[in-house]
Amino acid sequence: MFIRNCWYVAGWSSEVVAQGFLARTIIDMPLALWRREDGAVVAFEDACCHRGAPLSKGRREGDCVRCMYHGLKFDADGQCIEIPGQDHIPPSMKVRTFPVVERSKWIWIWMGDPAKADPSLIADTHWLDDPAWRSLEGYTHYDTNYLPIADNLLDLAHLPYVHASTLGGSEDYATNLPLVEPLERGIRVTRWAMNTMPPAFIQKVRPFAGKVDRWNIYDFTVPGIFLMDSGMGDAGGGVREGDRSNAAMFHSCQALTPETAHATHYFFAQPHSFAIDDAAVTRSIHQSIVEAFEEDRAMITLQVRSLAARPDFRMRGIRADEALTKFRFLVDRLLQVERAGMPAVATVSADGVSA
């Protein structure tokens, strides 16, 4: 069901405070995230090894956690170091821990084999804390599997229909088929819309007098990381040729993290590089994104309910499905590799997936 040997976004850095715990379930595993006294984030399985009581309801004692059911105390490595009324502590009295990396405001967690937790596989999201960009932290929760949400992100042809009054612009945007290219662990999608109407959200903060040339270039990588270079400039102004000097530019950072087979955490931000000292602009852009993502959630939730009511329904593909189809192939292949225990890297070819 879930790829395990990959980095998932567990939360925003701001969600894990100096004291207390963040309880969050990721790919069916309840977790307790907390900070050591030096600020480093620790991720425990949220279950005491004694009777399974949630450690997120425990008590912090320096760099240790005490279960508040029977008082067992665990160090930051998950090893039990104290059992009230018992001197001998078996080595097996240990809580499972997970590799964690905190970078650019996101906390990343590796849910698979710890020996394979390579930090170089973590996506670059530096726009989230780069002083030349501004954004606000976003989160929403879906009561659906993550793959229909991934499908939605991999096919931006829906923008003028689902997001007509927010991100969409004119319907001619959907007629420009994207270029879809393989990445080692994902897909790159490039879409240009030339001489098109600007979307409503940009007119609130950086209005254009006429039509624009618009680009959306993004990488979508496993397990569900969406990083998009996007923007627009005056039609005929040279943005496609590389002159972005007068363009409105964004670098969206989004992450889908499955909670369970039927629920998903969605982390997002929309960094912009213009008017970065105007907090009202940042708030307006963020609010437009929030509204658009609520439009997505409403449509995807209805779609999932419709499909659940029709188990014999067979979806039929169209040309705009190329990216999402290839990503689904990639996910299936990586799941097969993990099940087989094969040390392989999957890549997407022009006709599907190879390893």
Residue 99: which region, alpha, beta or left (left: phi > 0; alpha: psi -120 to 50)?
beta
CA separation for the pair 89, 9 (Å, rounded): 34
Cα torsion 117, 121, 127, 128 to 10°: value is -20
The full set of domains in the chain, from first to last, is 7-119 (2.102.10.10), 124-331 (3.90.380.10)
- Helix or strand holding residue 148 (H, E): helix 146-154
Residue 193 pairs in a beta bridge with 214
Q: Is the pLDDT of residue 130 over 50?
A: yes
Beta bridge pairs of residue 221: 186, 225
Rounded to 5, what percent of the chain is helix, strand, coil? 25, 35, 40
For 92-126, the pLDDT digits (tens) are: 999 999 999 999 999 999 999 999 999 999 999 99
For residue 110, give both structure tokens: 């590796």
The whole-number pLDDT of residue 352 equals 45
Question: pLDDT at residue 229 above 50?
Answer: yes
Mean pLDDT across 318-331? 94
The whole-angstrom separation of Cα 227 and Cα 103 is 15
pLDDT, tens digit (0-9, with 9 covering 90-100), for 241-300: 999 999 999 999 999 999 999 999 999 999 999 999 999 999 999 999 999 999 999 999
